[in-house]
């Protein structure tokens, strides 16, 4: 009893716990109560087995056990390896006459059949131990066996699943789930979310509130799925987040809300996005940015898997402006350097034409990144494709500059640069001999964005050639803050749209600009970035009805009727509040190192939003649509053809 | 530090814990680690306040505190009562000149405005303590105050909310949520679910797996909402439960699955049903009925709120046949007696016409229930309305029989019954003098169903007149088992339909009847009943593909193409498995004693499926429907008129 729960309890504590073990040893009468608080779960309660396959060790020698599992493989009709979610165990097929029926069951059953065996845990004969297998010291001497369910011939072996196309894996998802990797991913996800719940609910008094998913469209909610109701012409919408509800809960005095919330977004075909996804959704009253940040740092520290190393807090923080200037993006990957450097002053008096041109404009800058040992690892065709990318996507020129004087890239411009401003450049970029500098010139944002992309591109190139830039065991968290509150609308730059959403509060220092230069107002939005991916975002919200109405109506020109309930709620004693949402799928994907978020979701959709296992979505008989007062508008042949070309049909969906 | 976490830790243990307290006292270096495991949540971490309003006691005397809350009321500009989710506290408005600005803020702010105050916890003057108020020994001597957000005039006072119509409460749900009752309900729900998760995940190794809600219609899924996709004519469906997914997870070796799952059912207008609801969804491999039942008993015992008294296990169990015979329903309220008694043999030789008639038929029976002290509490009009109900809804005659010979109900038949079989009846029903017996005759099921309804009806009548039949503090759990596997279809009794769902395994003793008399086969389905409400249901599932195909295709005549993925999965080594789902909304409703499930849901829909706060569902511009290839089929005037009559427009929706 003690040995089974103590390791788990100990794991929760950071210091040696000999004293607690001693205490319990002295006080056996309480062991039953304490054992119900143990951290090591009982995996064989309520079921036919006594143990899991994977848990058996030398300490179980001599025990009579009953195991249930899948036949992983069989060798010479003597050994059989049985698998369950905990691992593998070797089973000795009995060879004596009296056990002929047991032998027949175990030898006849096809691979991946489900069997139940009972027998004794025995030592493997000396020399036959398998140190690579956690159960490799023991085997099971079987007495009885039962075939619980035979397996038909599989489309392919479970262990080969990861090698198959993703479409095949998704079609046979129930087989793919048996793989070690999928079991690991889904179990880690469950455990990490459970720890988050403990932190929020048990340690900090958050209330888990379920909010509706049958809701009303939100202003600008073009990406919301619609659901016809039985009232003609009226539709529910599946919300992209519980944003309105969590704010209304604050108005309702719930004070500390969280939810592991299902959210929906219909973006058509986009790689690595799912039409339904999950976020850890949090909102608090009477909180500021610092409070939310500390909460989240504590949350991640508490829930982080112990085998992934400790999480250091507080996380560093960077303004949006700094992130753009140094990394060319609002989600910098801070695991490595190669930061963007502004070298405009070095080139203030340059004779190089395109730099001169750029710097003569009011917003003109010269920027560069340094690629360590680039001269050693980058090939000529890499440089060419980098320059092509810059020209195609950013309409920018990129100049590669090498330190070695004798390097010959047929670039008289680069040579001129080195001759004129070489020393300044070397000093500013802290160059070493084998480095390459990529240099570009132009407007600040555009130059930074380009170099931000090239920074990641070159990191990939270097790593593909064996340079370790980004430690795969490193988790580099970063807060990005002080975003702009508004952005010019893409289709009409004279109008403004919310950089995040219209409920974000303006930065207190910039409120005076709201009526004069709203485009200059910074917001109280914050993003959480991990290894260059956005894993969370949130803000302090507007709790003043008048300010909210001004922003919605006057600045954003939204239809406030759709939000009248929220505006009214703010008028009735809404507390100051703020919150955040963490993208759970992305976060678990990064923690597990999975190649795609589809690998951390039990039944994901394909790129085109299809469930390849059940073939959803599917046609529905017209009579089933009648109660909803809708009918299908079948596209004309011309439209069908157009749609079949655009978006392109992805091979894996 | 110790005092704040120890009470919580102790609460988790059943025996005195002086020894642990002693240990920690001797080992202060570990207190920091241990304190992160405390069970009492910290409610003021990360925010502007130092304490909650409701937590302050004499033990806080002299402390400088900052509180945030809503103004509950104000008396003579001297006292102000501040409220947050934890409770109320009295604030002394300073009267001296130097604090004029603080006084002005606190006296000018309208009720329900949000304020922040800082000050000292002081004793109330002797004699002014309020023993009814948990914080009644102290008050706050304010130094500074800030108006965080003023409140406009409310449509009505928060404390009067529960007295208002439900429609008004739903329209201003964010105000309704401030009421003590809604705070209590939602917080209890969150805590109980958290305990369930601890039990499943931490104690028994269940894996929390999120399954999709954008799925494909299931056979017979007429109650499933549909969601148009961007592929013309193709729709997702919102599933009524994760049934298929949880079975596929078992095939995938997940072994122990649970999910607090959002489910959807479109039943049009039905009282006390919600279009989206939540179930505690559970599935296990290698389990039998006993295993699932023990699991659930342990789960409820572990998660039951401590102030609702302990839950006794194991729960009693009853077959469907017994439930019908004794209670006339498959969800008996076992908190009280008044069971149905078969008294056919007493009347075997009766001369009473309608009894003779009934007993002369092959299925004929005579049944009765005894209403204790019915003669004292039931009025003549009660008896009349009971007889009318029986005639209208069951086409049955009901005969009230009184023990007192001198009772005059103008019923010669009853008099005849008492004269003829009086002694047998009294003995069988264990009658007391003031009792009334309700007697009916006819076919077993119909007679039982009628008396089952009358049993509940009479219990309500007796309780309305002050007789305590059902202890409101009693939670009476019951397993109902051995349901029939199939029922005759209502619209076509020659065909069969699943009594629950087509994946339910047949009872092992009845499998031989599947091919000959399928209507006689019992299932491995089980229901969990609490105080006469079904709070859960589940079954051992079919894991044999051939049997599943036979039941779907041959017996149920379903389109197996819609389920081909599931049938295929069963062929690839599906383990034996079973599970259950608990209806969370109903369960929490019973635990809290709330009058409706809408009182345990933060943002429920009205009877007609509307969100009265935001006015969902709502009209959508036709251009927003275009990407989904659907258009509205507007009903004709005649259809509209028909629909507006049926179903009737309920006043509260």
pLDDT digits (tens, 9 = 90+) for B15-42: 333 333 333 333 333 333 333 344 689 9
Preferred mutation among B26, B168, B212, B265 to probe A, highest tally of A CBs within 10 A:
B212
Give the closest of B41, B215, B286 to A202, CB-based.
B41
pLDDT digits (tens, 9 = 90+) for B124-139: 999 999 999 999 999 9
CA distances from A596 to A266, A273, A280, A592 (A): 19, 10, 19, 10
- Contacts with B237 from chain A: Cβ below 8 Å: 616
Write down the pLDDT at residue A403: 72
- Helix or strand (DSSP H, E) at A535: strand A533-540
Contact between B575 and A148 using a beta-carbon 8 Å cutoff: yes
Reading the block at residue A212, the tokens are 């509706």
Residue A566: closest CA among B646, B611, B138, B30:
B611
Contact between A575 and B285 using a beta-carbon 8 Å cutoff: no
Residue A488: closest CA among A547, A445, A540, A536:
A445
**B525-530 and B533-540 as β-strands: parallel, antiparallel, unpaired?**
antiparallel
Inform me whether the pLDDT recorded for B188 exceeds 80.
yes
Give the closest of A19, A254, A629 to B177, CB-based.
A254
Give the closest of A19, A48, A278 to B210, CB-based.
A278
Write down the pLDDT at residue B273: 87
Residue A226: closest CA among A264, A260, A270:
A264
| Range scoring the smallest mean pLDDT among B12-16, B382-386, B393-397, B485-489 | B12-16
What's the gap between Cα B19 and its chain centre?
41
Nearest-CA distance A476 → chain B (Å): 23
Reading the block at residue B473, the tokens are 């503090």
Preferred mutation among B24, B46, B611 to probe A, highest tally of A CBs within 10 A:
B46
Give the closest of A15, A232, A286 to B47, CB-based.
A286
Inform me whether the pLDDT recorded for B180 exceeds 80.
yes
Provide the CB-side half-sphere exposure for B509 (13 A, CA).
Answer: 4
Nearest-CA distance A90 → chain B (Å): 18
**Residue spans in chain B of domains classed CATH 3.30.1360.30:** 342-464
- Contacts with A37 from chain B: Cβ below 8 Å: 12-13
Reading the block at residue B444, the tokens are 């077993």
- Give yes or no for a cis peptide into A8 (omega within 30° of 0): no
Q: If you measure CA to CA, which chain A residue comes closest to B543?
A: A149
Contact A443, A365 (CB under 8 A): yes
Give the closest of B231, B255, B615 to A617, CB-based.
B231
Contact between B268 and A205 using a beta-carbon 8 Å cutoff: no
Q: If you measure CA to CA, which chain A residue comes closest to B622?
A: A233
Catalogue the long-range contacts made by A378-382 (C-beta closer than 8 Å, 24 or more residues apart): A378/A436, A378/A458, A378/A461, A378/A462, A380/A409, A382/A461
| Range scoring the smallest mean pLDDT among A311-315, B243-247, B268-272, B639-643 | B639-643
DSSP type of residue A572: B
Nearest-CA distance A129 → chain B (Å): 27
Q: If you measure CA to CA, which chain B residue comes closest to A112?
A: B573
Contact A430, A403 (CB under 8 A): no
Q: If you measure CA to CA, which chain A residue comes closest to B643?
A: A231
Contact B86, B49 (CB under 8 A): no
Write down the pLDDT at residue B23: 32
- Contacts with A262 from chain B: Cβ below 8 Å: 210, 213, 262
Contact A117, A142 (CB under 8 A): yes
Write down the pLDDT at residue B17: 32
- Contacts with A237 from chain B: Cβ below 8 Å: 616
Contact between B576 and A230 using a beta-carbon 8 Å cutoff: no
- Contacts with A158 from chain B: Cβ below 8 Å: none
pLDDT digits (tens, 9 = 90+) for B489-499: 988 989 999 99
Write down the pLDDT at residue A26: 33
Give the closest of A83, A226, A609 to B625, CB-based.
A226
Contact between A234 and B617 using a beta-carbon 8 Å cutoff: yes
Write down the pLDDT at residue B36: 39
Contact between B48 and A613 using a beta-carbon 8 Å cutoff: no
- Contacts with B29 from chain A: Cβ below 8 Å: 15
Q: Which distant-in-sequence residues (6+ apart) come within 8 Å of A21 by Cβ?
A: A2, A6
Q: Which of the pair, B436 or A4, is modelled with greater confidence?
A: B436
- Helix or strand (DSSP H, E) at A143: strand A138-149
Q: Which CATH architecture has domain A336-464?
A: 2-Layer Sandwich (3.30)
Write down the pLDDT at residue A30: 33
Region B619-626 average pLDDT: 92
Q: What gap in Å lies between CA A528 and CA A314, rounded to an integer?
A: 12
Write down the pLDDT at residue B651: 38
CA gyration radius, chain A: 31
Give the closest of A41, A187, A264 to B203, CB-based.
A41
| Range scoring the smallest mean pLDDT among B156-160, B172-176, B380-384 | B156-160
Q: If you measure CA to CA, which chain B residue comes closest to A238?
A: B227
Contact A235, B618 (CB under 8 A): yes
Nearest-CA distance A93 → chain B (Å): 20
pLDDT digits (tens, 9 = 90+) for B78-107: 999 999 999 999 999 999 999 999 999 999
Q: Facing residues of A488 across strands? A: A496
pLDDT digits (tens, 9 = 90+) for B328-349: 999 999 999 999 999 999 988 8
Sign of the C-alpha dihedral computed for residues A56, A60, A62 and A63 taken in this order:
negative
Nearest-CA distance B247 → chain A (Å): 9
Write down the pLDDT at residue A408: 56
What topology does CATH give the domain A53-153? OB fold (Dihydrolipoamide Acetyltransferase, E2P) (2.40.50)
Q: Which distant-in-sequence residues (6+ apart) come within 8 Å of B45 by Cβ?
A: A204, A295
- Contacts with B244 from chain A: Cβ below 8 Å: 614
Contact B196, B299 (CB under 8 A): yes
Give the closest of A203, A245, A287 to B47, CB-based.
A287
Residue A638 has φ and ψ, to the nearest 5°, of -60, -45
Nearest-CA distance B304 → chain A (Å): 15
Residue B453: closest CA among B566, B515, B369, B568:
B369
Nearest-CA distance A245 → chain B (Å): 8
Q: If you measure CA to CA, which chain B residue comes closest to A4?
A: B203
Give the closest of B41, B233, B570 to A205, CB-based.
B41
Write down the pLDDT at residue B640: 67
**Residue spans in chain B of domains classed CATH 2.40.50.140:** 53-153
Nearest-CA distance A114 → chain B (Å): 6
Contact between A202 and B174 using a beta-carbon 8 Å cutoff: no
Sheet holding B226-228, edge to edge: A618-619, B234-237, B226-228
Share of chain B above pLDDT 70, in %: 90
**Residue spans in chain A of domains classed CATH 3.30.1360.30:** 336-464
Inform me whether the pLDDT recorded for B536 exceeds 50.
yes
Q: Which CATH architecture has domain B342-464?
A: 2-Layer Sandwich (3.30)
Q: What gap in Å lies between CA B524 and CA B479, rounded to an integer?
A: 12
Residue A283: closest CA among A380, A211, A183:
A211
Burial of A115 (0-12, 13-18, 19+ CB in 10 A): buried
Give the closest of A42, A572, A628 to B205, CB-based.
A42
Give the closest of B191, B201, B249 to A194, CB-based.
B201
- Contacts with B152 from chain A: Cβ below 8 Å: 571-572
Contact B378, B371 (CB under 8 A): yes
Contact between A603 and B212 using a beta-carbon 8 Å cutoff: yes
Inform me whether the pLDDT recorded for B50 exceeds 90.
yes
Q: Is B481 helix (H, G, I), strand (E, B) or coil?
A: strand
CA angle, A379 then A381 then A382, to 5°: 65
Q: Which distant-in-sequence residues (6+ apart) come within 8 Å of A520 by Cβ?
A: A484, A510, A513
| Range scoring the smallest mean pLDDT among A159-163, A407-411, B204-208, B536-540 | A407-411
Q: What gap in Å lies between CA B79 and CA B94, rounded to an integer?
A: 9
Q: How many CB pairs under 8 A join A and B?
A: 436
Nearest-CA distance B283 → chain A (Å): 12
Q: Is B586 helix (H, G, I), strand (E, B) or coil?
A: helix
When pLDDT is cut at 50, 70 and 90, the band that residue B641 belongs to is low
Region B417-432 average pLDDT: 83
Q: What gap in Å lies between CA B299 and CA A16, rounded to an integer?
A: 32
Region B569-584 average pLDDT: 98
Q: If you measure CA to CA, which chain A residue comes closest to B236?
A: A617
Sheet holding A226-228, edge to edge: A226-228, A234-237, B618-619
Sign of the C-alpha dihedral computed for residues B310, B311, B312 and B314 taken in this order:
negative
With a cut of 70, list the residues of chain A below it in pLDDT.
1-39, 161-162, 220-222, 269, 404-410, 640-653
3-state secondary structure labels for all residues of B281-328: EEEEECECHHHHHHHHHHHHHHHCCHHHCCCCCCCCEEEHHHHHHHHC
* DSSP secondary structure of A584-615: HHHHHHHHHT-SSGGGGSSS---TTS-BTTTT
- Please state whether A302 falls in left (phi above 0), alpha (psi between -120 and 50) or beta: alpha
pLDDT digits (tens, 9 = 90+) for A185-231: 999 999 999 999 999 999 999 999 999 999 998 886 668 999 999 99
Contact between B629 and A625 using a beta-carbon 8 Å cutoff: no
ipTM of the complex: 0.91
Inform me whether the pLDDT recorded for B285 exceeds 50.
yes
Contact between A227 and B226 using a beta-carbon 8 Å cutoff: yes
CA gyration radius, chain B: 31
Contact between B620 and A30 using a beta-carbon 8 Å cutoff: no
Q: Which distant-in-sequence residues (6+ apart) come within 8 Å of A276 by Cβ?
A: A262, A263, A264, A605, B212, B213, B214
Q: Torsion angle, CA of A62/A67/A70/A76, rounded to 10 degrees?
A: 30
Q: Facing residues of A581 across strands? A: A281, A537
Query: Residue ranges of the alpha helices (H) in A153-257?
Result: 166-171, 173-176, 180-197, 243-251
Nearest-CA distance A482 → chain B (Å): 20
């Amino acid at each position: 009893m003690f040995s089974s729960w103590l390791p788990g309890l100990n794991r929760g504590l950071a210091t040696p716990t000999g004293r607690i073990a001693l205490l319990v040893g002295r006080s056996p009468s309480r062991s039953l109560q304490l054992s119900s608080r143990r951290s090591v779960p009982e995996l064989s309660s309520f079921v036919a087995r006594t143990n899991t396959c994977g848990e058996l060790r030398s300490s179980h020698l001599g025990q009579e056990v009953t195991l249930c599992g899948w036949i992983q493989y069989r060798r010479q009709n003597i050994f059989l390896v049985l698998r369950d979610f905990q691992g593998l165990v070797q089973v000795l097929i009995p060879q004596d006459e009296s056990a002929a029926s047991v032998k027949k069951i175990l030898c006849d059953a096809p691979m991946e059949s489900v069997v139940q065996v009972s027998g004794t845990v025995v030592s493997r004969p000396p020399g036959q131990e398998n140190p690579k297998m956690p159960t490799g010291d023991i085997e099971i001497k079987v007495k009885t066996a039962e075939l619980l369910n035979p397996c038909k011939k599989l489309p392919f072996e479970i262990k080969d699943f990861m090698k198959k196309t993703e479409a095949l894996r998704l079609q046979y998802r129930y087989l793919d789930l048996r793989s070690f990797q999928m079991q690991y991913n889904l179990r880690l996800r469950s455990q990490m979310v459970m720890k988050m719940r403990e932190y929020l609910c048990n340690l900090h008094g958050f209330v888990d509130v379920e909010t509706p998913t049958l809701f009303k469209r939100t202003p600008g909610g073009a990406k919301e799925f619609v659901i016809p109701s039985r009232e003609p012409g009226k539709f529910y919408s599946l919300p992209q987040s519980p944003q309105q509800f969590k704010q209304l809960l604050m108005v309702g005095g719930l004070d500390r809300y969280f939810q592991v919330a299902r959210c929906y977004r219909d973006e058509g075909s986009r790689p690595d996005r799912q039409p339904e996804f999950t976020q850890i959704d949090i909102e608090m009253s009477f909180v500021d940015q610092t409070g939310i940040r500390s909460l989240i740092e504590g949350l991640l520290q508490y829930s982080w898997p112990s085998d992934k190393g400790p999480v250091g807090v507080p996380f560093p923080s960077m303004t949006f402006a700094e992130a753009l200037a140094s990394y060319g993006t609002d989600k910098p990957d801070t695991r490595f350097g190669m930061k963007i450097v502004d070298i405009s002053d070095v080139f203030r008096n340059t004779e190089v034409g395109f730099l001169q041109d750029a710097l003569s404009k009011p917003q003109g800058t010269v920027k560069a990144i340094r690629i360590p040992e680039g001269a050693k690892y980058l090939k000529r065709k890499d440089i060419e494709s980098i320059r092509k990318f810059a020209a195609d996507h950013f309409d920018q020129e990129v100049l590669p500059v090498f330190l070695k004087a004798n390097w010959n890239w047929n670039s008289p411009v680069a040579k001129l640069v080195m001759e004129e401003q070489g020393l300044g450049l070397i000093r500013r970029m802290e160059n070493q001999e084998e480095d390459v500098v990529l240099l570009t010139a132009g407007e600040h944002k555009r130059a930074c964005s380009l170099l931000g992309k090239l920074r990641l591109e070159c990191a990939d190139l270097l790593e593909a050639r064996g340079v370790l830039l980004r430690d795969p065991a490193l988790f580099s968290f970063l807060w990005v803050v002080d975003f702009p509150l508004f952005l010019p609308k893409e289709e009409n730059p004279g109008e403004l749209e919310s950089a995040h959403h219209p409920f974000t509060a303006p930065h207190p220092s910039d409120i005076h600009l709201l009526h004069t230069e709203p485009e200059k107002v910074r917001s109280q939005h914050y993003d959480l970035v991990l290894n260059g991916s956005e894993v969370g975002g949130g803000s302090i919200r507007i709790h003043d009805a008048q300010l909210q109405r001004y922003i919605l109506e006057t600045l954003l020109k939204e239809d406030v009727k759709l939000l009248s309930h929220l505006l009214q709620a703010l008028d009735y004693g809404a507390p100051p509040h703020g919150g955040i949402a963490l993208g759970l799928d992305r976060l678990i994907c990064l923690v597990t190192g999975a190649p795609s978020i589809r690998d951390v979701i039990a039944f994901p959709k394909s790129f085109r939003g299809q469930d390849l296992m059940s073939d959803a979505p599917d046609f529905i008989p017209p009579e089933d649509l009648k109660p909803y007062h809708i009918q299908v508008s079948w596209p004309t042949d011309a439209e069908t053809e157009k749609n079949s070309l655009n978006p392109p049909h992805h091979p894996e969906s």
